[in-house]
Amino acid sequence: MDAVTITVSVLTLLAGIGVFLIACSIMSSNLEALGSGKLKSLFAKTSKSKLLGVGAGALATMAIQSSSATTVMVIGFVNAGIMTLYQAATVIFGANIGTTITGQLVALGMFGDGGVSTSVIFSAFAGFGAFILAFAKKDALRKAGGILAGFGMLFVGLSLMSGSMQTFSESPEVRSFLSTFENPFLLVLLGALFTAIIQSSSAMTSMAIAMVVTGLISLEQGIYITMGSNVGTCVTALIAGITSSRNAKRTAVIHLIFNVSGTVVFMLIGLFMGLGGISYGYIFEIMFPHAPQVQLAMFHTVFNLITVIIILPLTNILVKLVVKIIPDKKKDDTNEPRLSYVDERMLKTPPVAVQQTMNEIIKMAETSIYNFNLSCDIICSLDFKDAEKFKSNEEHLNFINKELVSFIVKLMKADLNERDRIYLSRAIRSVSDLERVGDYAENIVEYAEKLKSSSEKFSEEVVKEIAALKLWVNRLSERVLKTYVDRDVKALGEAYAIENKIDEITAQMTEGHIERLRSGSCTPEAGAMYLAFCSDAERVADHFINVANTVKA
């Protein structure tokens, strides 16, 4: 084999890997977008049982064609506090099963040596998908076209890789060199290192299948390289966990322990079988004769299934182990402001990120109305026992305003459907409105501080008026959240009616208090604070109704 042939083969291999990885990315992003956030509801069911967690992880990974993406998404959920470590473990187990579907597809695409191969047929889907993308107007149809294009490109990349492997297999020198890599430990290490570099176990497994089919390596070599790919894929999760919460770091370690444990168990079994002259290659050649692509793909599936069967009953022990490996800090840092539902890693799964953005805004709305209620209680009683809680909530609202808007801006750059894009553009305004509610509540607490410093206080009549107004604002917030969550038109109409009622009440309160000022039954200092309160309460209602208005089509 001359230098030119080697150069061309290497470049073809790199091109094949590139096309394969891009195809996986295209399929993943379009499948996620077409799912419209259903992954979130899928993961929500994982708390019911271990098997549901495994099933959710497997289905999610089959859908987005990436166990690394699923694991990183799970780390984001754990980091945001919406998934427990136990739930995350079972989902990760399932993700390892789901990732084997790519290997099965690749094996299916490598039949048909005597005529038109399945790889050529599947590759043609890239053209069909591109045609749909070029002419389709509807967003859903374009997503479907993207999925078809990505699916076809998967096999275009595979064909390029197989072609380069075939060229290498014709060289006695290359075959002789690769035959020296017989040590299982070395093969596992090579598989892990290469997977860590390209960050795709699917690509590594597909390359191994192509190498086995072309005769470049033996089935036994391919099996141990595939085992190594399961270890190498943990690198993505470990990187994702570095800057995350302690539970998120633990999730990444669970992923590593799970994959390493499976590899160690199968290597020990392989060594034990070797003493009797039996190997994994021998077993799978008997089970699936004359189909090396199926032999390796089926080993990959069986390997992950058996690993899950072994580890699943030990989930509790595994969780306790990682908690000991990464213990809690002695100093409690749970009061530090943080986003409750959103994590940067969710940007990899835009539909889920959109749903979580809505949950974050709902939580923000609940915090803002809570602080408004606190401010009303404080100004009526002049009791500041909850002042620290109020201050902490206000800091949290300011934090959410800054961080969530930044997240939304990044999310809007992702491939989203039109509905999600419109929602996010309006969500920025909702975040601002809710932060302003917090600011008006802060104003009310400041009025209370001024009253107390001047030894002033509101009369019982005024306190009753404030209590009544507070009830109306709470009713409004309930209707607004009902509108926001369910896109309930009836609730929106009720919210408008309540907001108009609040306008009337605050106008009446203002007029009544002016009369009290004229009659001298109220001091100018207390009166000024009361009028300012009425104005701020009315503006709080305005900002809540703005949030409800964002759900309009």
Q: Say how far apart CA 63 and CA 82 lie, in whole Å.
A: 21
Give a yes or no: residue 220 inside a domain: yes
Give a yes or no: residue 90 inside a domain: yes
Question: What does the pLDDT read at residue 245?
Answer: 66
Q: Say how far apart CA 480 and CA 389 lie, in whole Å.
A: 25
Token pair belonging to 124: 């043609």
Question: What does the pLDDT read at residue 545?
Answer: 93
- pTM here is 0.64
pLDDT at 113 over 70: no
pLDDT at 487 over 90: no
Question: What does the pLDDT read at residue 341?
Answer: 77
Question: What does the pLDDT read at residue 333?
Answer: 47
Give the domain-ending residue among 325, 358, 391.
325
Instruction: Determine which of 52-56, 260-264, 327-331, 433-437 has the lowest per-residue pLDDT on average.
Output: 327-331
Question: What does the pLDDT read at residue 46?
Answer: 59
Give a yes or no: residue 339 inside a domain: no
Query: Within this chain, do residues 451 and 505 fall inside the same structural domain, yes or no?
Result: yes
What tens digit of pLDDT does each residue of 131-153 get? 888 888 787 788 888 888 888 88
Mean of the pLDDT values across residues 467-479? 94
**Which DSSP category does 501 fall into?**
H
Binned at pLDDT 50, 70 and 90, residue 34 comes out as low
Query: Within this chain, do residues 165 and 298 fall inside the same structural domain, yes or no?
Result: yes
Phi, psi at 288, each rounded to 5°:
-130, 75
Mean pLDDT of the chain: 83
Question: What does the pLDDT read at residue 469?
Answer: 94
3-state secondary structure of 37: coil
CA 127 to chain centre: 31
Please give the single-letter amino acid code of residue 227. Answer: M
Give a yes or no: residue 330 inside a domain: no
Binned at pLDDT 50, 70 and 90, residue 332 comes out as very low
Instruction: Determine which of 5-14, 310-319, 357-366, 430-439 has the lowest per-residue pLDDT on average.
Output: 5-14
What tens digit of pLDDT does each residue of 523-533 get? 777 788 888 99
Question: What does the pLDDT read at residue 202?
Answer: 77
Q: Say how far apart CA 77 and CA 75 lie, in whole Å.
A: 5
Question: What does the pLDDT read at residue 539?
Answer: 95
Q: Report, in angstroms and rounded to the nearest whole number, the Rg of the chain calculated over CA atoms.
A: 30
Query: Within this chain, do residues 270 and 370 fall inside the same structural domain, yes or no?
Result: no
Mean of the pLDDT values across residues 508-525? 75
Mean of the pLDDT values across residues 8-28? 80
Query: Which of these, 32, 112, 35, 118, lies nearest to 69 by C-alpha position?
Result: 32
Instruction: Determine which of 22-26, 288-292, 368-372, 405-409 has the lowest per-residue pLDDT on average.
Output: 22-26
Greater confidence (388 vs 414) lies with 388
Binned at pLDDT 50, 70 and 90, residue 37 comes out as low
CATH number at residue 366: 1.20.58.220
CA distances from 409 to 323, 530, 551 (A): 35, 39, 19
Question: What does the pLDDT read at residue 8?
Answer: 84
| Close Cβ partners of 7 (under 8 Å, ≥ 6 residues apart) | none
Query: Within this chain, do residues 306 and 362 fall inside the same structural domain, yes or no?
Result: no
Which range has highest mean pLDDT (296-300, 453-457, 485-489, 510-514)?
296-300
Query: Within this chain, do residues 427 and 289 fall inside the same structural domain, yes or no?
Result: no
Query: Within this chain, do residues 34 and 168 fall inside the same structural domain, yes or no?
Result: yes
Query: Which of these, 403, 11, 37, 337, lies nearest to 168 by C-alpha position?
Result: 11
Mean of the pLDDT values across residues 123-129? 86
Mean of the pLDDT values across residues 366-381? 94
Greater confidence (77 vs 432) lies with 432
Query: Within this chain, do residues 270 and 376 fall inside the same structural domain, yes or no?
Result: no
Give the domain-ending residue among 325, 359, 394.
325
Round to the nearest angstrom and report the end-to-end CA distance of the chain: 65
Question: What does the pLDDT read at residue 81?
Answer: 63
Question: What does the pLDDT read at residue 250?
Answer: 86
Give the domain-ending residue among 294, 325, 356.
325
Domain range holding 499? 346-549
Query: Within this chain, do residues 364 and 473 fall inside the same structural domain, yes or no?
Result: yes
Greater confidence (199 vs 235) lies with 235
Count CB-CB contacts under 10 A for residue 316.
11
Mean of the pLDDT values across residues 68-76? 71
Do 105 and 363 touch, CB atoms closer than 8 A? Answer: no
Query: Within this chain, do residues 356 and 218 fall inside the same structural domain, yes or no?
Result: no
Query: Within this chain, do residues 128 and 268 fall inside the same structural domain, yes or no?
Result: yes
Question: What does the pLDDT read at residue 116?
Answer: 46
Instruction: Determine which of 49-53, 230-234, 431-435 has the lowest per-residue pLDDT on average.
Output: 49-53
At CA 234, angle to CA 231 and CA 238, rounded to 5?
145
Binned at pLDDT 50, 70 and 90, residue 233 comes out as confident
Query: Within this chain, do residues 480 and 408 fall inside the same structural domain, yes or no?
Result: yes
Give a yes or no: residue 341 inside a domain: no
Q: Say how far apart CA 89 and CA 46 lie, in whole Å.
A: 10
Do 494 and 419 touch, CB atoms closer than 8 A? Answer: no
Question: What does the pLDDT read at residue 430?
Answer: 94
Mean of the pLDDT values across residues 69-93? 76
Do 91 and 43 touch, CB atoms closer than 8 A? Answer: yes
Mean of the pLDDT values across residues 514-530? 75
pLDDT at 519 over 80: no
Query: Within this chain, do residues 381 and 321 fall inside the same structural domain, yes or no?
Result: no
What tens digit of pLDDT does each residue of 96-105 get? 888 888 788 8
Number of domains composing the chain:
2
Mean of the pLDDT values across residues 326-350? 70
Question: What does the pLDDT read at residue 114?
Answer: 46
